[in-house]
Structure 1
Amino acid sequence: MYVTRDRALTTPAHDTTTVVAELGDRAEITDALYRFGLGQDLKDEGLFASAFAADAELDFRPAASKWGSEPPLMSGRDTIVTTILALFIGRVDTTHQITNTRITIDGDTARLTALVEAQHVLVADPATHALLKNPYDVDLVRDGDRWVIRRLRIDNTWYTGEPTVIFG
Structure 2
Amino acid sequence: MYVTSHQALAAGSADPVAVAAELRDRAEILDALYRFGLGQDLADRELFASAFTEDAELDFRPAAAKWDAEPPLMTGRAAIVDTILALFADRVDTTHQVTNARIAVDGDTARLTALVEAQHLLSADHATYALLKNPYDVELVRDGDRWLIRRMRIDNAWFAGEPKAIFG
Task: Structure 2 unaligned segments of length 5 or more: list them.
Answer: none
- The aligned residue for residue 20 of structure 2 is 20
- Equivalent position SS for 2:147: strand
- The aligned residue for residue 56 of structure 2 is 56
- Equivalent position SS for 2:8: coil
Matched residue type, 1:112: L
TM-score, scaled relative to structure 1? 0.99
Per the TM alignment, residue 126 of structure 1 is displaced from its structure 2 partner at its CA by 1.0
Q: Distance between the aligned counterparts of 2:161 and 2:133, measured in 1?
A: 12
Cα deviation 1:4-31 (Å, max 9, x = unaligned): 0000000001100011000000000000
Q: Distance between the aligned counterparts of 1:89 and 1:20, measured in 2?
A: 40
Tell me if 1:5 matches 2:33.
Answer: no
Cα deviation 1:42-87 (Å, max 9, x = unaligned): 0000000000000000000000000000000000000000000000
Matched residue type, 2:149: I
Q: Distance between the aligned counterparts of 1:76 and 1:144, measured in 2?
A: 20
Identity of paired residues, percent? Answer: 74
- Map residues 110-129 of structure 1 onto 2, 5 A cutoff: 110-129=110-129
Structure 1 residue ranges (4+ consecutive) displaced by more than 2 angstroms after TM superposition: none
How many residue pairs are counted as aligned between the two chains? 168
Q: Distance between the aligned counterparts of 2:101 and 2:89, measured in 1?
A: 28
- The aligned residue for residue 101 of structure 1 is 101
Q: Distance between the aligned counterparts of 2:109 and 2:164, measured in 1?
A: 35
RMSD after superposition: 0.4
Q: Distance between the aligned counterparts of 1:109 and 1:11, measured in 2?
A: 16
Task: Structure 1 unaligned segments of length 5 or more: list them.
Answer: none
